[in-house]
Amino acid sequence: MIRFSFIALAALTVALPMEQAMAKPLRNGGKLLLTNGISSLEGAAGGGLTPWAVIAGNETDEGFGLSAHGTIVEVKDYDYQSAGVAIGIRDRLELSYTRQDFNTNEIGAALGLGKDYAFSQDIVGAKLRVAGDLIYDALPAIALGVQYKKNGQGDVVRALGARDDDGVDYYATVSRLFLSRSLLLSATARLTKANQMGLLGFGGDKKGNYGVEFEGSAAWQLSRGLAIGGEFRSKPNNLGIAREDDWFDAFAALSLNRNLTATVAYADLGSIATVKGQRGVFLSLQTAF
C-alpha cells in the first residue's frame, strides 16, 4: 500500500507540470552549481552519507536531468566501491540505480568467509519533491523517498544473523540553502531495518522490525564552485555479532565545471562487521547534465 501510494502520488505530481509545459523547449541545465548535490552511497542526490530534498541532474522544472557517479571508500580494514545513475524529471521526481561492492580484505579470512570476500547489493530508488524549493520558495524543499535493496549474499547474511536479504528504506528529507549566507542545512528521517545499509542484510537476532534513524548535513559554499561541510547518520543495531556505530564525515565538494563534480571526505564509520575504528577517505566523481 505504501509503495502504491508513493508511485501514484509521483505520477500525478509529474504528469500535471508535463502536460502544461509540452510546448516549452527543454533547456540544457539551469541549476546553480552544486545545488543538485552529489550522489549518496545509496544513489540518491544529496550528500555522501545522506539524501537531500534535491533532484538529480542539472535541469530545472522545464527539463530532464541525468547524473552518473563512481565512489570509493577506503577505511582501515575494508574497501567499498559503488557506481550508479539517476534521472531527474522536471526537478520533481528522481529515479536511481546503484550497485555497491564491499570487500572484507583480510577480515574476511578472520571471519571464516575467505580473504577478499565481497558483499554486493543493488539499490533501486525513487524520490519525490512534494513541496517547497531549495532556494526560492517560502517553504524549504521537502521530499519523500524509497529505496529497494537486494543483497547478493543471502545465505551468508542469514548465517550472520540477518532475517532477510532484501528490504525497503523509506525516508523524508527537508533541505534549505540560505543563499545570502551560502549555508545549506538538511535533515532526514529514515525508516529502515538495514544492517550497514543492507550490505549485511536486513533485521537481525537483536531487532527485526523497522526503526527510525536520523541524518543531517551542513555545508558552507566558499565560492560558486567549492563547498565544505559535515554529515551525520545514525544507524540501527540489529545484529548481535556486528554492532553498528553512527557515521560522520567532513567533506569538500569541487565543481570542476557545470557537468563534473569531485568530492573528497574524511569518514568515520565506527565499527563494521566486528572491527572497530573504521576511518578513512571517501572519494566520489559525478557527472551531471
Q: What is the pLDDT of residue 242?
A: 86
User: pLDDT of 224-275, one tens digit each?
Assistant: 999 999 999 999 999 998 899 999 999 999 999 999 999 999 999 999 988 9
Compute the chain's Rg from CA coordinates.
19
Could you list the residue range(s) of the whole structural domain that residue 40 is in?
A: 2-288
Domains in the chain, number: 1
- CA-closest candidate to residue 55, choices 137, 125, 109: 125
pLDDT at 10 over 70: no
Name the phi and psi angles at 54, rounded to 5. -120, 160
pLDDT at 198 over 50: yes
Name residue, grid cell 552518473: 68
pLDDT band at 3 (very low <50, low <70, confident <90, very high): very low
Q: What is the C-alpha separation between 251 and 231, in angstroms, rounded?
A: 8
Q: What is the pLDDT of residue 105?
A: 94
Total residue length of the chain: 289
Q: What is the C-alpha separation between 52 and 231, in angstroms, rounded?
A: 11
CB atoms under 10 Å from CB of 83, counted, come to: 16
**17 Cβ contact partners less than 8 Å away, ≥ 6 residues apart:** 61, 90, 92
User: pLDDT of 48-106, one tens digit each?
Assistant: 999 999 999 999 988 999 999 999 999 999 999 999 999 999 999 999 999 999 999 99
Which CATH number covers residue 59? 2.40.160.40
pLDDT at 7 over 50: no
Handedness of CA 87, 88, 89, 95 (dihedral sign): positive
pLDDT at 2 over 50: no
Give the chain's mean pLDDT.
90
Bridge partners, residue 52, by sequence: none
- CA-closest candidate to residue 215, choices 188, 179, 193, 241: 188
pLDDT at 32 over 60: yes
pLDDT at 281 over 80: yes
